[in-house]
Amino acid sequence: MDRPDFISLFCLLCLFTGLQSSSVQLTEASCDYSTFKRVDNFNISKFLGVWHEIKYVLSFTEEPGTEWTDFELHFKEDGGHITDNIIARNGSGICIYHQDKIQPKSFGWTQPIEGQSVDRDWIVFDTDYTSYAFLYGCWTGNTTTCVDGRIWIISRTQKMSQERLDQAQAMAEAVCMTPLKTTKFVKSCPAGKFGIISVGYQRGHEAEKLPLPYNCEYNAHPFLPPGNVMS
């Protein structure tokens, strides 16, 4: 993508990618997300570090050729909030670098580049902190119904056991969000290197393929050095 018991973030993040809207049935009463089971006594300190996206679900359909690959989430503590650095390649193979600041106390997700703050619920369904985590995020909805949800199946490595994948599939079906799509790993982007930062970017859309420079001389954005951000 906030996190005592659940994370308010993505998109993670922004996070994430490809599903026919007709497949997302989060308006069904059986998928009241206020009832979703969350990890007990969630420990954000253990959750920090690098995660790789293995599977995902978005609430919209990705445009052909825009699927992201090599998607990584880097969580770390930074001055009283959690920083989520997203690194991935867009459909053109260009590295995308994006940073979000998550404020655990307010569950608000501050996007430094746009200067906006929004509330988004991130729920950690399950994690052992050392190898896997199942995340759910709601971008738009009310206290019970989500109309713009996301799912991220993430791992500390670029692989996940079949047992965990089966559990992830069962979880996705239980919250009315299928099918899970697979994130491909082609070539990881260098951490901290210049890439494209798009203002108001959204994964899975043609706009992500435009190699436009972005002036990164922005003090509130410590993830990348100042200067013109180029591919």
Q: Show me where the domains of the chain are located.
A: 6-229
Handedness of CA 24, 27, 29, 32 (dihedral sign): positive
**Beta-bridge partner residues of 50:** 74
- The pLDDT tens digits along the chain (231 residues) read 443 333 333 333 333 332 222 233 333 345 776 777 778 888 888 889 999 999 998 877 787 888 889 999 988 887 767 777 888 888 888 888 777 666 554 333 444 333 344 445 567 889 999 999 998 877 666 666 777 778 899 999 999 999 999 999 998 888 888 889 999 999 998 876 544 454 435 566 544 433 333 333 322 333 333 333 333
User: Residue 171 and residue 151: Cα distance in Å, rounded?
Assistant: 10
* CA-based torsion, 7, 74, 181, 21: positive or negative: positive
Please report where in the chains the tokens 């709601």 appear, as a residue. 138
Q: Which CATH superfamily is domain 6-229 in?
A: Calycin beta-barrel core domain (2.40.128.20)
Q: How far apart are CA 13 and CA 48, in angstroms?
A: 14
- On whether the CB atoms of residues 61 and 21 are closer than 8 A, the answer is yes
